[in-house]
Amino acid sequence: MKFIDEYRDAAAAERYAQAIRRITTRPWTIMEVCGGQTHAIVRFGVDELLPREVTLVHGPGCPVCVTPVELIEKALEIAAMPGVVFCSFGDMLRVPGTARDLLSVKALGGDIRIVYSPLDALKIARETPDRQVVFFAVGFETTAPANAMAVYQASRQGVTNFSLLVSHVLVPPAMEAILSGPANLVRGFLAAGHVCAVMGYTEYEPIARKYQVPIVVTGFEPLDILQGVYMTVRQLEEGRAEVENQYTRAVSRAGNRPAQKMIGDVFEVVPRKWRGVGEIPASGLGLKPEYAAFDAEKRFGVAHRIVDESTVCISGSILRGITKPHECPAFGTACTPEHPLGATMVSTEGACAAYYRYRRVQLQDSPRPGLETTR
Ligand code: SF4
């Protein structure tokens, strides 16, 4: 499993699918908590290779999708302020707030720039000291080290016109929230390989024990996912609930300690709202008090905005694995990538976008809810 072709080898995939079929005796619902895995599953039809008893559901694994609408509204408010340069990764620009998105603020004259790293935003701040430069820090544990580094460097370099609008979320508390929900169907998890590359996987061990669910750290290619599903089903069938690592080429149990230290130096664990899910205790990162001067919410006085979620978009139910994207009445009609009603239709990692891109034609040929083709 060294090169991309090997990860996508159809004959090997079929062998894994046969192995899963051989060991499966009962229905199992398994959730992946990573938008990259969701897209690989839908794009390559991994779920269609599995036996009927094994259902894959898509969890809250897309950071853009789980950013609450009130954070988007704060971003829109700050980005429209005179003298502000608002920097973001490109995938946030079309995420809808209550009435507009960052792209429409840009069209009205807002100085909104797409950057590829928070350090690019810090560079802009150094080069334009007369402007306030804000970086929209959205993401899981994967992007937190670079965002922490940007604040750390800004502090050391005395850059006072730089700040972060922070919307960092943490995966393990979201998994616990799903497992504790009354409608929970999930019996096992594929944990996101890139998150574990940073954080390791010791945090998952108490969850596996407490809720008696297998958790398999899994990569992103079709064979990774099939192997992760095989390992999860094998545990379920054997009555085990352990953390196992499929993605050994990138993940160690302890993770990346320097990256963890950088996160811990700059951020602290805080409660965080998840779009469509609500507030989950200790599920996010916020700047530590010693870095409060770099907090855009405080700098621009938008910390206490409260905004209601859309009543049309059911992405909260999708992100908890209760509903599939094509079961939303707005899917492909009122809600499309060109006119999205929710973030899960916008983001390149969103489940609704994946179904729209890879399953739309197939779904048009099957009556709603169409579970025949997507299970
Ligand atoms: S199809 Fe659109 S409205 Fe429906 S859940 Fe997905 S993003 Fe929300």
Please provide the DSSP assignment of 336-354 as one string. Answer: -SSS-SSGGGTSTT-HHHH
Ligand 1 pocket test target in 323, 344, 363 with most atoms within 8 Å of CB = 344
Q: Residue 111's CB: how many other CB atoms inside 10 A?
A: 19
**What is the number of the ligand 1 atom nearest to the C-alpha of 315?**
5
Ligand 1 pocket test target in 313, 322, 326 with most atoms within 8 Å of CB = 313
Q: Residue 26's CB: how many other CB atoms inside 10 A?
A: 10
Nearest to 43 by CA among 364, 348, 368, 371: 348
Query: Residue 361: pLDDT above 60?
Result: yes
pLDDT confidence of residue 362: 67
Query: Residue 371: pLDDT above 70?
Result: no
Q: Give the residues surrounding ligand 1 with Cβ less than 6 Å away.
A: 312-315, 318, 325, 328, 330-331, 335, 340-342, 344-345, 352
Report whether 94 contacts 75 (CB < 8 A).
Answer: no
Query: 333-353, pLDDT tens digit by residue?
Result: 999 998 888 889 988 889 999
Q: Which two tokens stand for residue 336?
A: 């499309």
Report whether 174 contacts 60 (CB < 8 A).
Answer: yes
- Which residue's alpha carbon is nearest to atom 7 within ligand 1? 342
pLDDT confidence of residue 311: 78
Rounded Cα–Cα distance for residues 359 and 35 (Å): 16
**What is the number of the ligand 1 atom nearest to the C-alpha of 331?**
1
If you average pLDDT over every residue of the chain, what do you get?
92
Query: 302-319, pLDDT tens digit by residue?
Result: 877 777 777 788 988 898
Least confident of 222-226, 270-274, 365-369: 365-369
Gap from CA of 211 to ligand 1 centroid (Å) = 30
Locate the DSSP E strands across the chain: 28-32, 54-58, 84-88, 111-114, 132-139, 162-169, 188-192, 215-218, 243-245, 267-274, 278-287
**What is the number of the ligand 1 atom nearest to the C-alpha of 328?**
4
What phi, psi does 82 have (nearest 5°)? -65, 145
**What is the number of the ligand 1 atom nearest to the C-alpha of 318?**
5
Gap from CA of 171 to ligand 1 centroid (Å) = 22
Torsion of CA 81, 85, 89, 94, to 10 degrees: 30
Rounded Cα–Cα distance for residues 137 and 150 (Å): 10
- Which residue's alpha carbon is nearest to atom 3 within ligand 1? 313
Q: Please give the residue that has the higher pLDDT: either 223 or 1.
A: 223
Tell me the whole-structure pTM to 2 decimals.
0.89
Residues 6+ positions from 357 with CB-CB distance below 8 Å: 42, 43, 337
pLDDT confidence of residue 216: 98
Integer-rounded Cα radius of gyration of the chain: 21
What phi, psi does 215 have (nearest 5°)? -130, 120
Q: How far is CA 274 from CA 19, 31, 136, 157, 319, in A?
A: 37, 18, 16, 33, 10
**What is the number of the ligand 1 atom nearest to the C-alpha of 312?**
3
Report whether 200 contacts 252 (CB < 8 A).
Answer: yes
Report the percentage of the chain scoring pLDDT > 90: 76
Report whether 88 contacts 115 (CB < 8 A).
Answer: yes
Q: 297: phi > 0 → left, psi -120 to 50 → alpha, else beta; which?
A: alpha
Ligand 1 pocket test target in 352, 363, 374 with most atoms within 8 Å of CB = 352
Query: 41-78, pLDDT tens digit by residue?
Result: 999 999 999 999 999 999 988 888 899 888 999 999 99
Rounded Cα–Cα distance for residues 138 and 275 (Å): 13
The strand pairing partners of 353, in sequence order, are none
